[in-house]
Structure 1
């Protein structure tokens, strides 16, 4: 086995590669380009393009600026991700689904809550801001080439609960709350909740926060999620979710991330501006001003006698 790591006190870590000369320079690392998005610890995060699900797209970033409260982390959702960078001019619809599955007890009432904030001018009639909070897209949107102002927004944004049996098969229909019923594009945080009673044969519960078919609406248009919670009516003070506040950062796919000094909070996110290559979407941003350093590592199988070369870009 080989363990490769990079420790740094500075800012950007982009592409890491490990090539083995005995295998004609074949890439050995998993996700060496760091293009596979990190999920917050204990959560599953799926980012994908509606019509091109195999393409990598940076829809969601776990960053400090997306937190509902000071000092925390939250999710920054980029509806324009299918029309910038690598995908400039493509105008792809993009999706972000955050989920976590937990064990539950049948017969209890479970309530899933979370907070959202959508950018915009706060006036529903102007159709300004996040595509999930408008009825029609702005005339300047690339989805409205004739600039009619009459193109309906395709975006759906919701919180959802799904009760599962012992085989993780869905029981009944999902319980879903459409955030657009309450949320406005007014840059204000708003709490939402969805509740349901666990069926007699329910063993697990999957909760989700989803933003589907988001498109570029040209103005300030980001969405933010934070401050999730799952409680039941029997033990209402007990938090059922792990990392409910999203403050524990997830490592990039295939890698381990550690603070060299515990509590340094060095690694802040998987960011688009930390990308190195023209066809890439993202890289790791390490914060020197946090007063600590971080370690990013991956362990791979190795062949005795083989020569390995580890390289990475940093700025």
Structure 2
């Protein structure tokens, strides 16, 4: 067992399976005390997935406690953080990993499909982070690690709800980093590539979709956890407000939106002048309107 995050208390949401489980196991293996949060349970036995992961951690000599509250409810989110305080007496890091997908083309997407995804990804990230914030502020330190996605950073087909929520998480993380910097609290994002139960629900009807799924199946979720452990550690004291990505053995660093061109005109602009001068000047800098996989090709060797 490593001591990289020794005695830090870490809440990992959506930790019953997939990437979240890998986070919980690796945090524990690196010395952290882990709140394993997941409301899912085995349909046959009724066992909560979180309890199963806690058992794995304890069998390996680590410390963990299960939380089965929902991130998508304000009061339940408070209970998730309280589980850390009640069991371990403090909280040092929140990993906002819980997520669902309800993929549908935008013109067919229902209100329920929109709200369900936004409630878990965006509202859930805010609720749990907000519950931890007063404790981080009081102890003058803490770290947030949020899961975003290239579906939000770049865009994707059939994922308007997921893309909007994941881009919203980036804005949330940046604002947390700015608002809480004076309290030595950090906030960063990870965009993971991995095959999990959530990505397994991605539609695979067209040849392009099937090819995308086959690529995802070759990306191991366990490869993402080391970056999350690092971002929670004291070694990452100078890292905040950033966006990273992990794909198999690669770690990415993403740029952020900044102004890249400007045009000034005395007296202001008319629609005609914009058409004649602004757009022709800007057009060479336009970004392609393509899904994320087109800009993140992967050919593993």
Higher percent of residues as strand? 1
Give the TM bin, normalised by the shorter chain. Answer: under 0.3
Q: TM-score, normalised by structure 2?
A: 0.27
Higher RCO (C-alpha under 8 Å, 6+ residues apart): 1
